[in-house]
Amino acid sequence: MKRVLVAPLDWGLGHTARCIPVMEELQQQGAQVIFAGTKDQVRFVKQHILPLSAIDLFGYNVSYSAIWPQWMKVGFQSLRLAKTIEKEHQWLQEFVQQNQTDIVISDNRFGLYSDKCKSIFISHQLNIPAPLFRQTANTINHRYIEQFDECWVPDNPYLNLSGNLSTSEKKHPHIGILSRFKEASEPGRKEFDFLFLLSGPEPQRSILEKKLVALTSDTDYSVALVRGIPEKTKDIPENIKQFGLLNSKELERLMKSSEAIVCRSGYSSIMDLALLQKKTFFIPTPGQPEQEYLAAYLRKKSGIQYSQQKDIDSSLDLKTIKTLARRIPLQPGEEPADFANENRCLLQNEIRRILQD
């Protein structure tokens, strides 16, 4: 039995969520999985996968701003992040030396490579859409990725949800779109007209929440508001039912029972929505070039509409959003269940290969 360490980046829970199907498949193929992450990440994963060995690992702890664009704020922290990457590399070397480890799978944690075991990097962002110093940012990005034995792209080559972000001169394995949810072959009974699915860093999460709640006032639409934090908010319209933190089964049921979903254009959310085949309207996080690129790319490619957060006001009402919401299209004539099976095989084949090496 091979022992596999899996460790995702701690910027939100998107990277952690998309590692769940990877870990499930590893377990199904007989590997012993050890998960490494912050306390929040470990708590999240243990809601979905049992049994699971887990250890605490420090995070990158990136902070954000209400004033500066997110890419600029992250840039200000680049020296500290470089030290964190060096620190996690040293941590992994000690861990591998003290614990039998055959494979390390890192989802966007740049320092988790080792010459003592096979190291795999998961990322859809091989090209960083930085507004400034793009060439420098990508040179650094590629230099880190080249330290790993392999790089896996979480995308389906037929859908190409990541666009130019995953374009590379080197041929990297595509492991399919990764989602902790099940395919859309089990549609839910409609309970809500809209699901407002909030995620991402503060203060932008709260800013978007206030805008969406204001849009709902004086309407008859039934709305589910998933705040993404434990606390509940006060003074919201009666037609909004609010939720805090949900496990995968609860969130999946809510997504399937909502007619349209309004959320950020984060890549993990995009993969979930493609698999579930739900009508969607995106609002990218301001100052996050990746989300802004993905929203614009999917509108051009598939007609999926979006709005900038600053434009969410009375001039864009819920009726208009409902009309504009679209599903991410699959291959023409393909059933969602057939697509899900074909997509799952991409991950199964790569994991089978590395476990047999």
Give the residue ranges of DSSP H helices in 99-159.
134-145
DSSP-assigned letters across all residues of 276-331: HT-EEEE-PPTT-HHHHHHHHHHHHHH---B--GGG-STTS-HHHHHHH-B----S
197 forms bridges with which residues in the sheet? 226, 263
Q: Which CATH architecture has domain 192-324?
A: 3-Layer(aba) Sandwich (3.40)
What is the C-alpha to C-alpha distance for residues 285 and 185, in angstroms, rounded to an integer? Answer: 31
pLDDT score at 71: 44
Predicted local distance difference test score (pLDDT) of residue 82: 86
Q: Can you give the pLDDT at residue 63?
A: 56
Angle between helical axes of 14-28 and 39-46 (0-180°, round to 10):
50
CA distance 305 to 316: 12
pLDDT for the residue 66: 52
State whether residue 8 is helix, strand or coil: strand
Query: Residue ranges of the domains in the chain?
Result: 3-181+339-356, 192-324
Q: Which CATH architecture has domain 3-181+339-356?
A: 3-Layer(aba) Sandwich (3.40)
pLDDT value of position 188? 63
User: Among residues 343, 306, 338, 179, which one has the least CA distance to residue 255?
Assistant: 179
What is the reported pLDDT for 4? 98
54 strand-pairing partners: 35
pLDDT per 10-residue tile (average), the chain, 357 residues:
96 90 96 96 86 90 55 56 93 96 97 97 90 77 95 95 92 95 73 93 88 92 92 87 88 95 96 95 92 96 94 84 94 84 96 95
What is the per-residue pLDDT for 76? Answer: 46
Same fold, 3-181+339-356 and 192-324: yes
